[in-house]
Structure 1
Protein backbone atom coordinates (compact mmCIF):
# COMPACT_ATOMS: atom_id res chain seq x y z
CA UNK A 1 0.00 0.00 0.00
CA UNK A 2 1.51 3.39 -0.95
CA UNK A 3 2.33 5.79 1.85
CA UNK A 4 -0.27 8.42 2.58
CA UNK A 5 0.75 12.03 1.87
CA UNK A 6 1.59 14.13 4.93
CA UNK A 7 -1.21 16.29 6.35
CA UNK A 8 -1.64 19.70 4.77
CA UNK A 9 -0.32 22.52 6.93
CA UNK A 10 -2.89 24.96 8.30
CA UNK A 11 -3.36 28.11 6.24
CA UNK A 12 -1.26 31.10 7.12
CA UNK A 13 -2.75 34.55 7.38
CA UNK A 14 -1.04 36.73 4.83
CA UNK A 15 -0.58 40.43 5.45
CA UNK A 16 -3.30 42.40 3.62
CA UNK A 17 -0.82 44.15 1.36
CA UNK A 18 -3.49 45.20 -1.15
CA UNK A 19 -5.22 47.40 1.43
CA UNK A 20 -3.78 50.88 1.22
CA UNK A 21 -5.00 53.30 3.87
CA UNK A 22 -3.15 56.56 4.48
CA UNK A 23 -1.35 56.67 7.83
CA UNK A 24 -3.26 59.65 9.22
CA UNK A 25 -5.13 60.25 12.50
CA UNK A 26 -8.45 60.19 10.64
CA UNK A 27 -7.67 56.85 8.99
CA UNK A 28 -6.50 55.35 12.28
CA UNK A 29 -9.66 56.54 14.03
CA UNK A 30 -11.86 55.07 11.32
CA UNK A 31 -9.97 51.74 11.45
CA UNK A 32 -10.39 51.61 15.24
CA UNK A 33 -14.10 52.40 14.99
CA UNK A 34 -14.60 49.65 12.41
CA UNK A 35 -12.78 47.05 14.49
CA UNK A 36 -14.76 47.99 17.59
CA UNK A 37 -18.02 47.75 15.63
CA UNK A 38 -17.10 44.31 14.29
CA UNK A 39 -16.05 43.03 17.70
CA UNK A 40 -19.29 44.28 19.24
CA UNK A 41 -21.35 42.52 16.57
CA UNK A 42 -19.44 39.27 17.10
CA UNK A 43 -19.95 39.21 20.87
CA UNK A 44 -23.64 40.22 20.77
CA UNK A 45 -24.88 38.02 17.92
CA UNK A 46 -25.09 34.23 17.84
CA UNK A 47 -23.77 33.53 14.34
CA UNK A 48 -20.35 34.81 13.27
CA UNK A 49 -21.22 33.73 9.72
CA UNK A 50 -24.22 36.06 9.58
CA UNK A 51 -22.15 38.88 11.08
CA UNK A 52 -19.59 38.45 8.28
CA UNK A 53 -22.36 38.22 5.66
CA UNK A 54 -23.61 41.62 6.85
CA UNK A 55 -20.08 43.03 7.06
CA UNK A 56 -19.27 41.89 3.54
CA UNK A 57 -22.45 43.43 2.13
CA UNK A 58 -22.22 46.66 4.13
CA UNK A 59 -18.65 47.34 3.03
CA UNK A 60 -19.03 46.05 -0.55
CA UNK A 61 -16.27 43.46 -0.24
CA UNK A 62 -17.89 41.29 -2.92
CA UNK A 63 -20.63 41.53 -5.58
CA UNK A 64 -24.18 42.00 -4.23
CA UNK A 65 -25.72 38.81 -2.93
CA UNK A 66 -22.39 37.16 -2.11
CA UNK A 67 -22.29 34.98 0.98
CA UNK A 68 -19.44 33.88 3.19
CA UNK A 69 -18.13 30.40 2.40
CA UNK A 70 -16.03 28.20 4.67
CA UNK A 71 -13.10 26.81 2.69
CA UNK A 72 -12.17 23.64 4.55
CA UNK A 73 -8.53 22.72 5.13
CA UNK A 74 -8.49 18.89 4.97
CA UNK A 75 -5.60 17.22 6.76
CA UNK A 76 -5.21 20.05 9.27
CA UNK A 77 -7.25 18.37 12.01
CA UNK A 78 -6.15 18.88 15.62
CA UNK A 79 -7.03 16.86 18.71
CA UNK A 80 -9.19 18.64 21.24
CA UNK A 81 -7.14 20.13 24.10
CA UNK A 82 -8.24 19.45 27.66
CA UNK A 83 -9.78 22.92 28.05
CA UNK A 84 -11.86 22.41 24.92
CA UNK A 85 -13.19 19.08 26.21
CA UNK A 86 -13.99 20.72 29.52
CA UNK A 87 -15.89 23.54 27.81
CA UNK A 88 -17.90 20.97 25.83
CA UNK A 89 -18.64 18.89 28.93
CA UNK A 90 -17.29 15.66 27.41
CA UNK A 91 -14.95 13.02 28.77
CA UNK A 92 -11.66 11.83 27.33
CA UNK A 93 -13.33 9.06 25.28
CA UNK A 94 -16.12 11.08 23.66
CA UNK A 95 -15.39 11.64 19.92
CA UNK A 96 -14.76 15.27 19.00
CA UNK A 97 -14.25 16.42 15.43
CA UNK A 98 -12.15 19.36 14.29
CA UNK A 99 -12.72 21.61 11.30
CA UNK A 100 -10.28 24.29 10.20
CA UNK A 101 -11.74 26.75 7.70
CA UNK A 102 -10.91 29.99 5.97
CA UNK A 103 -14.05 32.13 5.90
CA UNK A 104 -14.02 33.99 2.62
CA UNK A 105 -16.20 36.62 0.99
CA UNK A 106 -15.41 37.43 -2.59
CA UNK A 107 -11.63 37.54 -2.84
CA UNK A 108 -11.11 38.29 0.86
CA UNK A 109 -10.24 35.90 3.66
CA UNK A 110 -12.01 37.47 6.62
CA UNK A 111 -11.35 34.82 9.28
CA UNK A 112 -9.41 31.64 9.99
CA UNK A 113 -11.46 29.51 12.38
CA UNK A 114 -10.72 26.39 14.41
CA UNK A 115 -13.88 24.53 15.37
CA UNK A 116 -14.06 21.52 17.67
CA UNK A 117 -17.54 20.00 17.76
CA UNK A 118 -19.33 16.98 19.23
CA UNK A 119 -20.79 15.03 16.28
CA UNK A 120 -23.20 13.04 18.47
CA UNK A 121 -24.97 16.31 19.30
CA UNK A 122 -25.65 17.09 15.62
CA UNK A 123 -27.88 15.35 13.09
CA UNK A 124 -26.43 12.84 10.59
CA UNK A 125 -27.14 15.26 7.75
CA UNK A 126 -25.28 18.07 9.53
CA UNK A 127 -22.28 15.81 10.02
CA UNK A 128 -22.37 14.82 6.35
CA UNK A 129 -22.37 18.45 5.23
CA UNK A 130 -19.54 19.33 7.60
CA UNK A 131 -17.45 16.52 6.12
CA UNK A 132 -18.21 17.17 2.48
CA UNK A 133 -19.05 20.82 1.83
CA UNK A 134 -17.74 24.37 2.12
CA UNK A 135 -20.90 25.55 3.85
CA UNK A 136 -20.04 27.39 7.04
CA UNK A 137 -20.66 25.71 10.37
CA UNK A 138 -23.09 28.40 11.47
CA UNK A 139 -25.28 27.92 8.41
CA UNK A 140 -25.30 24.12 8.74
CA UNK A 141 -26.28 24.08 12.42
CA UNK A 142 -28.67 27.03 12.28
CA UNK A 143 -31.76 24.77 12.60
CA UNK A 144 -30.56 23.89 16.12
CA UNK A 145 -31.48 27.42 17.27
CA UNK A 146 -28.13 27.64 19.03
CA UNK A 147 -26.78 30.42 21.21
CA UNK A 148 -23.23 31.70 21.34
CA UNK A 149 -21.41 32.20 24.63
CA UNK A 150 -18.26 34.30 24.28
CA UNK A 151 -15.31 33.05 26.31
CA UNK A 152 -12.94 35.85 25.30
CA UNK A 153 -12.71 38.62 22.74
CA UNK A 154 -9.69 40.76 22.01
CA UNK A 155 -8.81 43.43 19.48
CA UNK A 156 -5.22 42.48 18.67
CA UNK A 157 -4.27 45.67 16.84
CA UNK A 158 -4.88 49.16 18.18
CA UNK A 159 -4.52 51.78 15.44
CA UNK A 160 -4.48 54.45 18.17
CA UNK A 161 -3.03 54.47 21.68
CA UNK A 162 -5.38 54.07 24.64
CA UNK A 163 -5.08 57.79 25.48
CA UNK A 164 -5.61 58.98 21.91
CA UNK A 165 -8.60 61.15 22.90
CA UNK A 166 -6.62 63.14 25.48
CA UNK A 167 -3.29 63.67 23.68
CA UNK A 168 -2.33 65.56 20.58
CA UNK A 169 -1.83 63.32 17.52
CA UNK A 170 1.76 62.76 16.45
CA UNK A 171 2.79 64.37 13.17
CA UNK A 172 2.69 61.80 10.34
CA UNK A 173 3.80 61.67 6.76
CA UNK A 174 0.47 61.68 4.94
CA UNK A 175 2.14 59.88 2.03
CA UNK A 176 2.81 56.85 4.22
CA UNK A 177 0.56 53.81 4.22
CA UNK A 178 -1.09 52.41 7.33
CA UNK A 179 0.43 49.03 8.19
CA UNK A 180 -2.52 46.72 8.89
CA UNK A 181 -1.37 43.42 10.47
CA UNK A 182 -2.52 39.94 9.39
CA UNK A 183 -4.62 39.38 12.55
CA UNK A 184 -6.80 42.08 14.09
CA UNK A 185 -9.36 40.31 16.36
CA UNK A 186 -9.37 36.98 18.19
CA UNK A 187 -12.59 35.48 19.55
CA UNK A 188 -13.18 32.28 21.51
CA UNK A 189 -16.71 31.05 22.03
CA UNK A 190 -18.88 28.03 22.78
CA UNK A 191 -22.10 27.29 20.91
CA UNK A 192 -24.90 25.78 23.01
CA UNK A 193 -28.26 24.16 22.31
CA UNK A 194 -31.47 25.72 23.67
CA UNK A 195 -31.23 23.43 26.73
CA UNK A 196 -27.72 24.72 27.48
CA UNK A 197 -25.80 21.70 26.15
CA UNK A 198 -22.55 22.86 24.49
CA UNK A 199 -21.71 21.32 21.11
CA UNK A 200 -19.00 23.48 19.54
CA UNK A 201 -15.89 25.37 20.68
CA UNK A 202 -14.52 27.91 18.20
CA UNK A 203 -11.36 29.98 18.02
CA UNK A 204 -11.69 32.68 15.36
CA UNK A 205 -8.87 34.86 14.07
CA UNK A 206 -10.19 37.80 12.06
CA UNK A 207 -7.79 39.10 9.47
CA UNK A 208 -6.76 42.56 8.34
CA UNK A 209 -8.91 41.97 5.25
CA UNK A 210 -11.99 42.95 7.23
CA UNK A 211 -10.64 46.46 6.56
CA UNK A 212 -10.40 45.94 2.79
CA UNK A 213 -12.64 48.93 2.16
CA UNK A 214 -12.16 52.29 0.55
CA UNK A 215 -9.98 54.29 2.96
CA UNK A 216 -11.03 57.69 4.24
CA UNK A 217 -10.14 60.72 2.17
CA UNK A 218 -6.71 62.16 2.83
Structure 2
Protein backbone atom coordinates (compact mmCIF):
# COMPACT_ATOMS: atom_id res chain seq x y z
CA UNK A 1 0.00 0.00 0.00
CA UNK A 2 2.81 2.42 0.85
CA UNK A 3 4.52 1.65 -2.45
CA UNK A 4 1.32 2.71 -4.25
CA UNK A 5 1.39 5.97 -2.32
CA UNK A 6 5.04 6.51 -3.22
CA UNK A 7 4.33 5.86 -6.89
CA UNK A 8 1.33 8.19 -6.83
CA UNK A 9 3.39 10.91 -5.14
CA UNK A 10 6.13 10.47 -7.73
CA UNK A 11 3.62 10.78 -10.57
CA UNK A 12 2.13 13.91 -9.01
CA UNK A 13 5.63 15.34 -8.58
CA UNK A 14 6.44 14.67 -12.23
CA UNK A 15 3.20 16.34 -13.25
CA UNK A 16 3.96 19.33 -11.05
CA UNK A 17 7.45 19.75 -12.47
CA UNK A 18 6.66 19.07 -16.11
CA UNK A 19 3.52 21.08 -16.81
CA UNK A 20 3.20 24.67 -17.89
CA UNK A 21 -0.37 24.98 -16.61
CA UNK A 22 -1.45 26.58 -13.35
CA UNK A 23 -0.95 25.25 -9.87
CA UNK A 24 -4.74 25.04 -9.54
CA UNK A 25 -4.90 22.85 -12.68
CA UNK A 26 -2.29 20.52 -11.17
CA UNK A 27 -4.10 20.49 -7.83
CA UNK A 28 -7.37 19.54 -9.56
CA UNK A 29 -5.68 16.69 -11.43
CA UNK A 30 -4.18 15.41 -8.19
CA UNK A 31 -7.63 15.38 -6.58
CA UNK A 32 -9.22 13.69 -9.60
CA UNK A 33 -6.62 10.90 -9.57
CA UNK A 34 -7.92 9.37 -6.35
CA UNK A 35 -11.27 8.24 -4.93
CA UNK A 36 -10.01 9.39 -1.54
CA UNK A 37 -9.47 13.13 -1.08
CA UNK A 38 -7.27 12.23 1.91
CA UNK A 39 -4.90 10.22 -0.28
CA UNK A 40 -4.93 12.90 -2.97
CA UNK A 41 -4.03 15.56 -0.41
CA UNK A 42 -1.26 13.33 0.94
CA UNK A 43 0.07 12.94 -2.62
CA UNK A 44 -0.05 16.73 -3.05
CA UNK A 45 1.78 17.33 0.22
CA UNK A 46 4.44 14.76 -0.63
CA UNK A 47 4.98 16.26 -4.08
CA UNK A 48 5.11 19.81 -2.69
CA UNK A 49 7.27 18.89 0.31
CA UNK A 50 4.65 19.84 2.89
CA UNK A 51 5.32 17.92 6.09
CA UNK A 52 8.08 15.37 6.48
CA UNK A 53 6.55 12.88 6.04
CA UNK A 54 3.23 14.17 4.73
CA UNK A 55 0.49 13.43 7.27
CA UNK A 56 -3.11 14.58 6.87
CA UNK A 57 -5.06 15.25 10.06
CA UNK A 58 -8.77 16.05 10.40
CA UNK A 59 -9.26 18.77 12.99
CA UNK A 60 -12.86 19.37 14.10
CA UNK A 61 -14.48 22.70 13.29
CA UNK A 62 -16.86 23.52 16.11
CA UNK A 63 -20.00 25.69 16.05
CA UNK A 64 -20.02 26.05 12.26
CA UNK A 65 -22.24 23.20 11.09
CA UNK A 66 -23.67 23.33 7.60
CA UNK A 67 -27.35 22.58 7.08
CA UNK A 68 -28.21 19.17 5.69
CA UNK A 69 -28.44 19.53 1.90
CA UNK A 70 -32.00 19.17 0.62
CA UNK A 71 -31.08 16.16 -1.54
CA UNK A 72 -28.94 14.35 1.08
CA UNK A 73 -31.54 11.80 2.20
CA UNK A 74 -32.23 10.75 -1.40
CA UNK A 75 -28.54 10.66 -2.35
CA UNK A 76 -27.62 8.61 0.72
CA UNK A 77 -30.76 6.42 0.45
CA UNK A 78 -31.92 6.92 4.03
CA UNK A 79 -35.42 7.76 5.28
CA UNK A 80 -34.56 10.17 8.05
CA UNK A 81 -31.79 12.59 9.02
CA UNK A 82 -31.56 10.67 12.32
CA UNK A 83 -29.88 7.92 10.27
CA UNK A 84 -26.96 10.24 9.46
CA UNK A 85 -23.95 11.56 11.32
CA UNK A 86 -22.17 14.80 10.49
CA UNK A 87 -18.49 15.70 10.68
CA UNK A 88 -17.00 19.10 9.85
CA UNK A 89 -13.20 19.16 9.80
CA UNK A 90 -10.17 21.08 8.58
CA UNK A 91 -7.74 18.84 6.74
CA UNK A 92 -4.24 19.97 7.64
CA UNK A 93 -0.76 18.88 6.59
CA UNK A 94 2.49 20.26 7.96
CA UNK A 95 0.72 23.20 9.59
CA UNK A 96 -1.13 24.13 6.36
CA UNK A 97 -4.93 23.97 6.12
CA UNK A 98 -5.61 22.37 2.75
CA UNK A 99 -9.39 22.12 2.96
CA UNK A 100 -12.49 22.15 5.07
CA UNK A 101 -14.88 19.27 4.62
CA UNK A 102 -18.54 18.83 5.52
CA UNK A 103 -19.38 15.14 5.66
CA UNK A 104 -22.80 13.58 6.17
CA UNK A 105 -22.40 9.82 6.50
CA UNK A 106 -24.43 6.69 7.21
CA UNK A 107 -22.96 5.15 10.38
CA UNK A 108 -24.99 1.93 9.92
CA UNK A 109 -22.94 1.21 6.76
CA UNK A 110 -19.61 1.50 8.62
CA UNK A 111 -18.10 -0.80 11.22
CA UNK A 112 -18.39 0.07 14.92
CA UNK A 113 -14.61 0.60 15.00
CA UNK A 114 -14.84 3.08 12.12
CA UNK A 115 -17.61 5.03 13.85
CA UNK A 116 -15.55 5.18 17.04
CA UNK A 117 -12.49 6.41 15.13
CA UNK A 118 -14.54 9.11 13.40
CA UNK A 119 -15.87 10.37 16.74
CA UNK A 120 -12.72 10.07 18.83
CA UNK A 121 -9.69 10.70 16.58
CA UNK A 122 -8.29 13.22 14.11
CA UNK A 123 -8.05 10.54 11.42
CA UNK A 124 -9.59 11.70 8.13
CA UNK A 125 -12.78 10.00 6.95
CA UNK A 126 -11.13 8.59 3.82
CA UNK A 127 -8.41 6.90 5.84
CA UNK A 128 -10.87 5.48 8.39
CA UNK A 129 -13.14 3.95 5.75
CA UNK A 130 -10.38 2.91 3.29
CA UNK A 131 -10.80 -0.81 4.16
CA UNK A 132 -14.30 -0.59 2.65
CA UNK A 133 -12.72 0.05 -0.78
CA UNK A 134 -15.10 2.90 -1.56
CA UNK A 135 -15.40 4.73 -4.84
CA UNK A 136 -16.15 8.39 -5.39
CA UNK A 137 -18.64 10.05 -7.72
CA UNK A 138 -18.11 13.77 -8.10
CA UNK A 139 -21.45 15.57 -8.27
CA UNK A 140 -20.12 19.10 -8.72
CA UNK A 141 -16.86 21.01 -8.99
CA UNK A 142 -16.58 24.77 -8.87
CA UNK A 143 -13.53 26.96 -9.11
CA UNK A 144 -14.24 29.28 -6.24
CA UNK A 145 -16.34 29.26 -3.14
CA UNK A 146 -19.56 27.21 -3.06
CA UNK A 147 -22.31 27.82 -0.53
CA UNK A 148 -21.16 26.73 2.93
CA UNK A 149 -17.46 27.11 2.18
CA UNK A 150 -15.28 29.58 4.10
CA UNK A 151 -13.40 32.58 2.75
CA UNK A 152 -10.19 31.58 1.03
CA UNK A 153 -11.84 28.68 -0.83
CA UNK A 154 -10.47 28.37 -4.35
CA UNK A 155 -12.07 25.06 -5.33
CA UNK A 156 -15.29 23.42 -4.13
CA UNK A 157 -16.27 19.79 -4.66
CA UNK A 158 -19.43 17.88 -3.87
CA UNK A 159 -19.27 14.09 -4.02
CA UNK A 160 -20.82 10.81 -2.93
CA UNK A 161 -18.74 7.89 -1.65
CA UNK A 162 -20.05 4.40 -2.46
CA UNK A 163 -19.37 0.90 -1.18
CA UNK A 164 -18.48 -1.71 -3.82
CA UNK A 165 -22.12 -2.94 -3.74
CA UNK A 166 -23.32 0.54 -4.73
CA UNK A 167 -24.57 1.61 -1.30
CA UNK A 168 -23.77 5.27 -0.58
CA UNK A 169 -21.89 5.91 2.65
CA UNK A 170 -21.14 9.63 2.54
CA UNK A 171 -22.03 12.96 0.99
CA UNK A 172 -19.14 15.41 1.17
CA UNK A 173 -18.72 19.08 0.43
CA UNK A 174 -15.03 19.91 0.22
CA UNK A 175 -13.72 23.47 0.32
CA UNK A 176 -10.11 23.55 -0.85
CA UNK A 177 -8.13 26.49 0.47
CA UNK A 178 -5.77 28.89 -1.31
CA UNK A 179 -3.07 28.02 1.24
CA UNK A 180 -2.72 24.61 -0.45
CA UNK A 181 -1.36 26.37 -3.56
CA UNK A 182 0.74 29.02 -1.83
CA UNK A 183 3.44 26.58 -0.77
CA UNK A 184 6.80 26.89 -2.54
CA UNK A 185 7.87 23.65 -4.24
CA UNK A 186 10.81 23.23 -1.86
CA UNK A 187 8.86 23.97 1.37
CA UNK A 188 9.62 21.49 4.11
CA UNK A 189 12.72 20.11 2.37
CA UNK A 190 15.24 22.28 4.16
| TM-score category of the 2 structures, normalised to the smaller one | 0.7 to 0.9
Count of residue pairs the alignment pairs up: 162
Identify the match of residue 158 of structure 2 among 172, 182, 188.
Answer: 188
Provide the TM-score with structure 1 as the length reference: 0.69
Q: Is 1:142 matched up with 2:130?
A: yes
The CA RMSD measured in Å over matched residues stands at 2.1
* Structural mapping, 1:34-49, within 5 Å: 34-49=23-38
Match of 2:116 in 1: 128
Bigger RCO of structures 1 and 2 (CA < 8 A, at least 6 apart): 1
Q: Unaligned stretches of 5+ in structure 2?
A: 1-18, 146-150, 186-190
Q: CA deviation at 1:125?
A: 0.4
Match of 1:197 in 2: 167
Q: CA deviation at 1:70?
A: 0.4
1:39·1:153 contact (CA, 8 Å) conserved in 2? no
Distance in 2, Cα, partners of 1:209 & 1:42: 16
Give the helix-richer structure, 1 or 2: 2
Match of 1:214 in 2: 184
1:69-115: CA deviations, max 9, x gaps?
A: 00012454455333111111111265100000000001110000000
Q: Unaligned stretches of 5+ in structure 1?
A: 1-28, 158-180
Match of 2:40 in 1: 51
The structure with more radius of gyration: 1
- SS of the counterpart of 1:46? coil
Give the strand-richer structure, 1 or 2: 2
